[in-house]
Amino acid sequence: EVQLVESGGGLVQPGGSLRLSCAASGFIFSSHWMHWVRQAPGKGLVWVSRINTDGSSTTYADSVMGRFTISRDNAKNTLYLQMTGLRAEDTAVYYCARRGMTTVTPFPFDIWGQGTMVTVSS
Amino acid sequence: DIVMTQSPDSLAVSLGERATINCKSSQSLLYNSDNKNYFAWYQQKPGQSPKLLIYWASTRESGVPDRFSGSGSGTDFTLTISSLQAEDVAVYYCQQYYSIPLTFGGGTKVEIK
């Protein structure tokens, strides 16, 4: 079964750090670009970051640039999001998502994880 | 950034009736080199993660019932549920994947009247 499972969320104080993980299974992880998308409570979907297949290229939303780092370990079939300098406005469910096609053509997210909740509060 | 504007914010439709959701982008999503619209629709049921319904504006993802259809091109797009079922209660999001940052519409909540 094709699956993404996030972990690592929790309660953290403002200014703190957290590392999210996303374990992939059931497909060739190293062939797909991967993304993080977040959703604040009761709000819509917001794209956060993406990484190419070998990890050599990363892109970030302006709101997290310089604070968040996306990475991947293809040997472990795992995607990561290192979050530092966390703010109250980073509170959200964080989803990892797979870009559907394995070619360079842009494509939407065909597989999503179940999400992990990050709460930034004192 | 490309701004995606959905309408309405919510709608209530009777079972078996048609539901129509609109999405407008602030710039064209039609890529001239391949004549494809880099546009998708997702469904998010309560307590679940989003699910891809439609891509390239009108191509149904595998397994998606044919009562769901997408249309439109350029900057104006529509998702139609031809005969609403109880299991279609959800929030629907449009998304552009034409350029970074990838952006979503604000969502349309579909309920049963």
How many C-alpha atoms does B10 have within 13 Å on its Cβ side? 7
- Quote the longest CA-to-CA distance of chain B: 43
Q: What percent of chain A has pLDDT over 70?
A: 100
Phi first, then psi, for residue B65 (nearest 5°) are -60, 150
For residue A103, name the pLDDT band (cuts at 50, 70, 90): confident
Six-digit token pair at B6? Answer: 């959905």
Cβ-based contacts under 8 A for chains A and B:
51
For residue A22, name the pLDDT band (cuts at 50, 70, 90): very high
Residue of B nearest to A115 (CA): B49
For residue A7, name the pLDDT band (cuts at 50, 70, 90): very high
Six-digit token pair at A62? Answer: 């302006």
Which of A33, A35, A45, A96 to substitute to test the interface with B, most B CBs within 10 Å? A45
Q: What percent of chain A has pLDDT over 90?
A: 94
Question: Tell me: the pLDDT tens digits for B73-110?
Answer: 999 999 999 999 999 999 999 999 999 999 999 999 99
Question: Tell me: the pLDDT tens digits for A56-83?
Answer: 999 999 999 999 999 999 999 999 999 9
Least CB–CB distance from A112: residue in B49, B100, B105: B49
β-strand partners of B77: B23, B72
Least CB–CB distance from A61: residue in B40, B98, B101: B101
CB B57 within 8 A of CB B37: yes
pLDDT at A102 over 80: no
Phi first, then psi, for residue A30 (nearest 5°) are -70, -5
Nearest to A24 by CA among A52, A2, A7: A2
Q: CA-to-CA distance for A42 and A34, rounded, in angstroms?
A: 24
For residue A105, name the pLDDT band (cuts at 50, 70, 90): confident
